[in-house]
Chains A and B, each alone.
Chain A
């Protein structure tokens, strides 16, 4: 009897889990389905779920109008470039704060996080003028730099949390064995923190990929990523929802696939240290 209840409960929880997952996934699914509809079918009420004339016309139109590969390549450069640069700065910073904390470490962490609390538009003009003067407008380097600075507090915080879970005596033992600082970080700390670093990388790539304020405001053509590609299909006067959906599907596809293939690392990294 007890077993039957457990099974029923399990089935219920599974159904609930699937239900919640479906609700969360639904907007993406709807965007995907809409991208195969005609513009007229995209706005019809009641909406058509699966039974409509599937067409690839929107993808054809989007591809003929925009150079998707150029936008996608810019997204890859900005997202991965900024994450890499961020890690180079954040790993030593998080290491120092986790293993050699001072009485001001907590304040420092809080201060870093506080930079995320100001609305981005508040510093648009100063940053824009700096970019203009340093000739960084519409350049890959400029975008990598600004994206690194935006995501750095999050990278440092995540790595700090993971590093805190690693017992300090292991590092001390390495030091006792004569490991240099570089060896201590690269050969001892990094391998133990791989899941944490992997999830930090993934999360930051996703954040940088989807960032749509700075990427739209500081780029025009040469360094414009996929967010600019999507923005070019949004229109206040004219129903281009099917084309917009096709552009959105193409823009999110790479990052969704990346997340899919690395979900094991992502979940492991995010729950790292949660259960001891």
Chain B
């Protein structure tokens, strides 16, 4: 009898364990790799809403600095490590990785997702053959942020769509070096996503391009010389000292502490510089489109942070449920409800820019939309190009060549070399790398 009892007990225990195991097995853990940007951190905080809607999915977050994240996810995806189910990637990686079959097509985002609502320029940069391979979480372009008080003091009025000539004139007029006020702050730190983001976009407006249709680098052509000379002269006359080590954060700190008259950088900066808790000049900031030279292209870039599912993920269904939640219209409403409309991730959905509540809360909204619409990644330069991308060239080699050229231009800004020498070195280095990589393909 006692043997029977113990057998029964053992069977019951096994059944309970199996039942419990079954219950545990239903919970899927989705690991998300993301960057440490304000909008991403907010998403992490609001994830309780997703947990309430999907109690069967548990989210694990890995937050890393942008360059570290890029290296980490590239290693994992190339080695098929399968460590992540959702990856945050930029518009540079999205087309390259989709082409290599590293990303899953996002075809389970749900019927009410409304992909048609995503801004066309952003959608085209993360799609391949009309299929989404990454869902944009927030999009950004670049624009001019300027100090209204300093502009008025200089006796000038900023037009809504300024030319480079006006920007140069205004920067010099606003500069007051003894009082540490510099007319313009621009990126100088070397890197494909640092100074080259600005200079590549700027070259587009000067009629330049990275490559001609035969993949021949164009640094020996006149537009690049005009771009670099204009940039170096402007920074010499009206830029802050030590500009060759300034990136986004350094210029943000300078602008927020009242040391810059103008700053041309990412539209996402608008919410920082207009926040009175962080910025000394919050009530004096005006916005304008990135400058042009009357050639039909403005000097603004286009970037978006997107969520994608790596091909090695075993949990693609749960991962797509999360992506659908984070990039949906409902998510925008959720942010607005909890943190206000000004904090909604910008630049992805057309419907957001038709929402009067958002337009009222975010004074920079229209300028952001116009800047994004003005950028065309498939047709970024005045002359035709064989590549996709506004401030980058969407080929795997670009990270290396972009940074090499960036180092040459940063050296010219620091006064270690001349503009001509820097352009020559850039031309030679890029020619060599492209030959080695087997272009034209």
List the interface of chain A (C-beta within 8 A of B).
Answer: 38-40, 43-45, 65, 124-125, 128-129, 131-132, 137-138, 216-217, 220-221, 224, 228, 231-240
Query: How many Å lie between the Cα of A202 and that of B250 in the bound state?
Result: 37
The reply on B358 being an interface residue by CB < 8 A is: no
Can you identify 5 A-B contacts, CB atoms within 8 angstroms? A131-B81, A231-B68, A236-B249, A238-B272, A239-B249
For the A-B complex with A216-B64, A239-B272 known, give 19 more contacts whose Cβ atoms are closer than 8 Å: A39-B277, A39-B278, A40-B277, A43-B253, A65-B41, A132-B82, A137-B81, A220-B33, A220-B83, A228-B62, A228-B64, A231-B65, A232-B36, A233-B36, A235-B66, A238-B37, A238-B252, A239-B252, A239-B278
Cβ–Cβ < 8 Å partners of A228 in chain B: 62, 64
**Are A132 and B272 also in contact (CB < 8 A) when A217-B72, A236-B249 are?**
no
**Are A125 and B249 also in contact (CB < 8 A) when A236-B65, A239-B272 are?**
no
The A-B contact count (CB < 8 A) is 97
With an 8 Å Cβ cutoff, the count of chain B residues facing the other chain is: 45
The reply on B381 being an interface residue by CB < 8 A is: no
**Closest 3 A/B residue pairs (Cβ):** A232-B63, A234-B65, A235-B36
Distance between A39 CB and nearest chain B CB, rounded to angstroms: 6
Query: How many Å lie between the Cα of A210 and that of B41 in the bound state?
Result: 25
Cβ–Cβ < 8 Å partners of A233 in chain B: 36
Q: B75–A124 contact, CB under 8 A?
A: yes
- Within 31-53 of B, Cβ neighbours of A (below 8 Å) are at 31, 33, 35-38, 41, 44-45
Distance between A124 CB and nearest chain B CB, rounded to angstroms: 6
Distance between A218 CB and nearest chain B CB, rounded to angstroms: 9
Query: How many Å lie between the Cα of A129 and that of B75 in the bound state?
Result: 10
List the B residue with the shortest CB-CB distance to A236.
B66
List the A residue with the shortest CB-CB distance to B65.
A234
Query: How many Å lie between the Cα of A43 and that of B72 in the bound state?
Result: 29
Q: A138–B83 contact, CB under 8 A?
A: yes
Contact of B75 among A39, A128, A238, A239 (CB under 8 A): A128
**Are A217 and B65 also in contact (CB < 8 A) when A40-B277, A235-B37 are?**
no
Query: How many Å lie between the Cα of A128 and that of B79 in the bound state?
Result: 7
Q: B35–A235 contact, CB under 8 A?
A: yes
Cβ–Cβ < 8 Å partners of B266 in chain A: 237
Q: A220–B31 contact, CB under 8 A?
A: yes
List the interface of chain B (C-beta within 8 A of A).
Answer: 31, 33, 35-38, 41, 44-45, 60-68, 71-72, 75-76, 78-84, 247-249, 252-253, 256-257, 259, 266, 268-269, 272, 277-280
List the A residue with the shortest CB-CB distance to B258.
A45
List the B residue with the shortest CB-CB distance to A44.
B257
Q: B65–A220 contact, CB under 8 A?
A: no
Distance between A91 CB and nearest chain B CB, rounded to angstroms: 35
Cβ–Cβ < 8 Å partners of A238 in chain B: 36-38, 249, 252, 272
Q: B248–A137 contact, CB under 8 A?
A: no
Query: How many Å lie between the Cα of A234 and that of B35 in the bound state?
Result: 9
Distance between B39 CB and nearest chain A CB, rounded to angstroms: 10
Q: A132–B68 contact, CB under 8 A?
A: no
Q: B36–A132 contact, CB under 8 A?
A: no
List the B residue with the shortest CB-CB distance to A66.
B63
Query: How many Å lie between the Cα of A217 and that of B70 in the bound state?
Result: 11
Query: How many Å lie between the Cα of A114 and that of B60 in the bound state?
Result: 39
Query: How many Å lie between the Cα of A131 and that of B81 in the bound state?
Result: 9
Cβ–Cβ < 8 Å partners of A217 in chain B: 71-72, 75
Q: B63–A137 contact, CB under 8 A?
A: no
Cβ–Cβ < 8 Å partners of B65 in chain A: 231, 234-236
Query: How many Å lie between the Cα of A265 and that of B64 in the bound state?
Result: 37
List the A residue with the shortest CB-CB distance to B256.
A43
Distance between A211 CB and nearest chain B CB, rounded to angstroms: 14
Cβ–Cβ < 8 Å partners of B79 in chain A: 125, 128-129, 132
Query: How many Å lie between the Cα of A104 and that of B395 in the bound state?
Result: 50
Q: B257–A45 contact, CB under 8 A?
A: yes
List the B residue with the shortest CB-CB distance to A131.
B81
Cβ–Cβ < 8 Å partners of B67 in chain A: 236
Q: B257–A43 contact, CB under 8 A?
A: yes
Cβ–Cβ < 8 Å partners of B83 in chain A: 137-138, 220
Q: A132–B278 contact, CB under 8 A?
A: no
Cβ–Cβ < 8 Å partners of B38 in chain A: 238
Q: A237–B37 contact, CB under 8 A?
A: yes
Query: How many Å lie between the Cα of A234 and that of B256 in the bound state?
Result: 19
Q: A237–B249 contact, CB under 8 A?
A: yes
Q: A65–B248 contact, CB under 8 A?
A: no
Distance between B300 CB and nearest chain A CB, rounded to angstroms: 16
List the A residue with the shortest CB-CB distance to B305.
A237
Q: A239–B253 contact, CB under 8 A?
A: yes
Query: How many Å lie between the Cα of A125 and that of B72 in the bound state?
Result: 11
Q: B278–A65 contact, CB under 8 A?
A: no
Cβ–Cβ < 8 Å partners of B68 in chain A: 216, 231, 234
List the B residue with the shortest CB-CB distance to A132.
B81
